Structure 1
């Protein structure tokens, strides 16, 4: 059985850790409120842009509805945008992103990986560190986006991706991120960013969302402006989703850590009381034994 001093020191250590996890939970909760507000306000705008694109693609002549971002090519060169966090202590948040990215690499794009034709654009230090240590081709310029998260910083990364796709540097671009649903639930998603696949109405289903647009100055110019904007907003939404998911996962992890610390303190307190009682009993027995020896004399 450990000594009273050892148990007491361990109890104090766990209490200190519990105070840290409580503070981290409160900080994560405050940041989560802001991040949740950002993604909640962002989603209707992104959905409206996507709805406009769907209506245009469903009602325009496909010969007119053309863009370099729609051109499908053989996916010989692939870019995967993986969005993680900069720091740990957020449960399985980062490991889930890494697993989903590895699944893409090992299953979907295994031939391209074998030829060295798959690159990774990491957003977040955790996914960057993981794939850098394993010598994957990386686009490192945008891994610090989360340090100054704004549309302008994400826009810079999106513009690089768009230019690289048009130039033929990549034939296909995928985004791996975590969709925020609530504090407890975050779901890893894999979305194709490029080439854009126009959504067509299903056969036999009326297109009730069809809108007769008046396009000014021209259809071509509208499409030229609309698709890049939608793609930039798609990446920005994914980053905001991931950011909110990170704080939700961190708040949940710190809450569980605080509860585990409380349970451990209770267990250590019980061990301490037993050790203390054993020490008292031993002292009483020694006193009684000494008294009986004196009486025997």
Structure 2
């Protein structure tokens, strides 16, 4: 089998399972090839070092990378076609301390190709109703890879009225031609904070922030939600109430948070009849206030 055929098989396997990333990682005397799906890390195959190196060189050549550079980080993009559909891929490579090169390929799916399904339709209906609000802050939490961004995009796509939507992500995970999508680039001084300031000058009706990771981003998101924008984002928390504590931990004012939150959610992936589904718990603002009172908050 040629290197090209091996690569084609790997890419088609990732796309078939809606995987987000393809990893080509060096070991002592072989290369491990794995992918990330909604169910976590999955091993695809193990190849000899020579095959692994040839595969890396082939991908670098196809994506316009410097084949001779094996230590310094390289970033590139390429488009791959499967079944008449184009899939954009973001590629990064770097060498470790032993000068062994590794590579990660991120797959960017069009919104129509997400195909996310929900175990219980009621929570997603409540989320969609929240997205109809003209302002406020909606936050989803959950482990990496459970489809939080997909759920947010899905909810926005259900809106029947046209609204200006702008997203800031690191990186862009789902491509949507109907959304103005900005991507973080720290080398070009395009951080979340910088792009948020720029984004608000465009006066978007809906602002998607890929992830709230720090105090500055959290406070800007709250301010935007209180000044006439509907802000949707994700945070690291282990429950719906955990979202509340996480934002307080990032230094957000409690009074402001209580008034700006339109809804919070926590999502996991589960399997129902051998089919992967998103299991979303979602609390509207009223639901959240009731839960907070029950827990003495």
Q: Scaled by the length of structure 2, what TM-score is found?
A: 0.25
Higher strand content, 1 or 2: 2
Larger Rg: 1
Q: Scaled by the length of structure 1, what TM-score is found?
A: 0.25
Higher helix content, 1 or 2: 1
Tell me: higher relative CO, structure 1 or 2? Use CA pairs within 8 A at least 6 residues apart.
Answer: 1
